[in-house]
Amino acid sequence: MPELDSSYPIGLFDSGVGGLTVMQEIMRVLPHESLVYFGDTARVPYGNKSRETIIRYSIENAIFLLEKQVKLLVVACNTASAFALPKLRKIFNIPIIGVVEPGAEKAVSVTRNQRIAVLGTKGTIQSRAYQTEIQRLLPHAHIFSQACPLFVPLVEERFLDHPATRLLVKEYLSGLHQQEIDTVLLGCTHYPLLKPLIQQELGAHIHLVDSATTCAEKIASILETQKLQSRASSPSHAYYVSDDPDKFKELGEKLFGQALPHVELLNHEKFTPFIYH
Ligand code: DGL
């Protein structure tokens, strides 16, 4: 492992703006940590791309963040976590945490009847990463998976309480009513923003869980074990994107109701092309 310093920032990447759900939670749980966020807005969405492409993008994103001297890497995108985490851990020698393991842990901790539904992008569902992780933790769990590919564009249109979104929530979740599930894992960065509609559709007795809080708690515990916690009284946060910083800032601020500082465009010349095989 390279020499890591507690003053280094935590790096996190997502395909775009959705990973800010995870970033917000990290800021809340770890208020002394500096963060560097990278949103790959030039290549979003990841949810319907192939495993190979997602692995390639993830490696490139990780290289960019490692050049920023991060002490821990968070893969805040569910699709990237589902497809690329093992490869990233093989290549890079710093602590790397995704959102699949924390999300699965959370779902397993709240279910009472071991009947869990997982919602995600096409890629996340096809990868079976959540299913595999839940079954590893709870071998007798019954898992029902549903890809909801139209949720991401609806959230990005800010159709959070729109008739079109209600219709699609009904359509995607229609198969779950008969399954006696008690827990639904929102396995995509954007889905927590649809919590109210999903809860209305499935009923108040269903637990809706996502990865963000458990992910932030896991990071806290890794930093503590490795003695890498920052004590900075005024940590600094930096935001980078691969396309259109103004659009990212506007959408991020509208979706999360929080002002974002300056967002920088990634310097492509410094974004070293990488040979993977
Ligand atoms: N960030 C992605 C995820 O959590 C959703 C958006 C996309 O498809 O790129 O899977």
* pLDDT tens digits along 81-115: 999 999 999 999 999 999 999 999 999 999 999 99
In terms of DSSP H, where are the helices of 111-264?
122-127, 129-137, 151-156, 163-173, 195-202, 212-225, 245-256
Average pLDDT, stretch 206-219?
Answer: 96
Q: Is the pLDDT confidence value at 268 over 70?
A: no
pLDDT, tens only, 146-177: 999 999 999 999 999 999 999 999 999 999 99
* Ligand 1 atom nearest to 15, measured from its CA: 9
State the pTM of this model: 0.95
pLDDT score, position 267? 72
State how far the Cα of 142 lies from the Cα of 139, in Å rounded to an integer: 9
For ligand 1, is residue 186 a contact (CB within 6 Å)? no
Whether ligand 1 lies within 6 angstroms of the CB of 211 is answered as no
- CA separation, residue 247 to residues 66, 164, 195, 262 (Å): 25, 24, 24, 12
* Ligand 1 contact via 129 beta carbon (within 6 Å): no
Which ligand 1 atom sits closest to the C-alpha of 188? Answer: 4
Residues near 57 by beta carbon (within 8 Å), at least 6 away in sequence: 15, 40, 43, 46, 49, 80
Q: So which residues are the catalytic ones?
A: 77, 188
Rounded to the nearest angstrom, the distance between the alpha carbon of 39 and the centre of ligand 1 is 11
Q: Among 102-106, 201-205, 256-260, which is the least confidently predicted range?
A: 256-260
